[in-house]
Structure 1
């Protein structure tokens, strides 16, 4: 509902463009990343593939992102730049808006502190174009490998240069799979929006990616398509207390993961305990979770383990506060 309202507001101000559909929307969600966004922009100007638009959704930045993008819109680019500002609501809300506004057949996500190599879009689109139409319906995305700025790979390469697999299967076979960037079928993404009823909470991206993986395969390729920089201000640098206090979506994520029979049993059991752990952190009723268990005894065991991890979290928060 929130996305529909934002889109209506944009349409009412005449900010959308109804140009003929293009092949790829490159989507960049951003929040106070003006320092790194130019590198992202310049990598798009170097693309050998030309049939794309750049869609920037600004999730409430207070820096000079808007003026930077306005300046770039005046440059002689071979691709259109579309910029939309929205109140801060989290990356997942920016994603939902981007998927709604996109005009491409495919949707490539390029974060505001990441950048492409010169033939990224060409390589990814080539793999899509090589698939027969009937085959495309089985796949949600084509994904290539990412590196750090120094060129070191993030995670392990795939066992084959072209590796068609389900994302959940990849995780079960490889504990540190390669970090990837990809090009998704927009039609698929529109069927799997992020939940927007967790105001102010961090919603794990894997919640949606795993839902998609339960229905679609992915083509993974051992080809470096981009670089990632992990900056302060993200989840890894957020205080533990703040993170746990806004971890309501983690209950939903772990509940769904605990039911994925394709995952190893140990992983599913851990997720089951995490349901109770995060429910306690967010003052959610434990009895509701217990009543959904097939076995009340097993539910009590998971709740007990979750409670112990919850206490461990509280101790870690206490130590964190002592250091402040």
Structure 2
């Protein structure tokens, strides 16, 4: 087993496609018959109309398909609806949507959440306000979220317009809370990911955001509350099942260690110790040899810690 084969890479070719819309909104659906209406309600109310919705029903076993067919009749915007016969998990659907996307910016709106009516307008105006000489290195914009009672989730960013990236934000603001934003579609279309990973449980979305960070792109973080985050569903896509999703967690941990430990191991050693711990915990549920993991860890210190921890991983 070579874990390095599962790390994303960036295709050399540039994407020069003339996009048809400013935004592509992507919504994956799995057993959301009672909540998918929130997405349609939110998008119908948008003050900015230059967008499409790519809606992928990922093998739902409830009445999501029938509900969606009725909601399509109410849509005041373009919808590209795909009804997958089998469940592929969110990451596979995301790359399915990336291939189909005709918007310059791609944004995920989960099937049990909402956004405020001027969300896309604020994203568009904020991007246009970025100095032209800086736009090339900006991968996207990320905003704040609130719960259904209107309370901010997490903390505000240090500045109203705060330039950073996913990795630096995670290590310097680890308790920042739920966030929401868009990514340039041209960057996403260049990402190459091993499709064999899609059948191995849930893959953390952070794998993509961390990879984009590793390629030198920045994100603009803004203190605008644009998404309404619901917590009333028990089987949210963001829920963690350590056994079921252990492969994705292992690849994520190995990726972060490979991409960032060289520059940050002495600045933030606790962060990489945590990632090593997470990797050991995931290894409990995976049938791979110790050497498979050691080959994928570039840092000698973390490699040694993992080797010692291997004998105690059943306790994690």
| TM-score bracket, shorter-length normalisation | 0.7 to 0.9
Deviation at 1:134, TM superposition (A): 4.1
Rounded Cα–Cα distance in structure 1 between residues aligned with 2:185 and 2:193: 14
**Partner secondary structure for residue 221 of structure 1:** strand
What is residue 226 of structure 1 aligned with on the other side? 227
Deviations 1:67-119, CA, capped at 9 Å, x for gaps: 222223323x4311121011201111110101111111111110001101010
The Cα of 1:31 is off from its aligned counterpart by 0.4
Q: Distance in 1 between matches of 2:217 and 2:174?
A: 21
- The structure number with the bigger radius of gyration is 1
Does the 8 Å contact 1:108/1:183 carry over to 2?
yes
TM-score (norm 2): 0.84
- Stretches of structure 1 that go unaligned for 5 or more consecutive residues are 1-18, 314-324
Is the contact made by 2:200 and 2:247 (CA closer than 8 Å) also made in structure 1? no
Give the deviation of 1:220 after TM superposition: 0.7
Per-residue deviation at 1:40? 1.6
Higher relative contact order (CA 8 A, sep 6+): 2
- Aligned-CA RMSD value: 2.4
User: Hey, what does 2:54 align to over in structure 1?
Assistant: 55
SS at match of 1:281: coil
1:154-233 aligned within 5 A: 154-198=153-197, 199-214=199-214, 215-230=216-231, 231-233=233-235
Q: Determine if contact 2:200/2:248 at 8 Å carries over to the other structure.
A: no
Deviation string 1:32-91 (CA, Å, 9 cap, x unpaired) is 11201101210111111011111101111122222222223323x431112101120111
Q: Structure 1: which 4+ aligned runs deviate by more than 4 Å?
A: 235-238, 291-298
Matches within 5 A, 1:88-127: 88-127=87-126
- The 8 Å contact of residues 31 and 59 in structure 1, kept in 2 or not, is answered as yes
Per the alignment, residue 78 of structure 1 pairs with: 76
1:225-270 CA-partner distances (Å, limit 9, x unpaired)? 01111321136766x5xx3254112222111222313461111122
1:311 and 2:314 matched: yes
Partner of 1:322: none
How many correspondences in the alignment?
Answer: 290
Equivalent residue number for residue 286 of structure 1? 290
Are the structure 2 counterparts of residues 288 and 157 from structure 1 closer, same or farther at C-alpha, using a change threshold of 3 Å?
same
Q: Is 1:277 equivalent to 2:281 in the alignment? A: yes
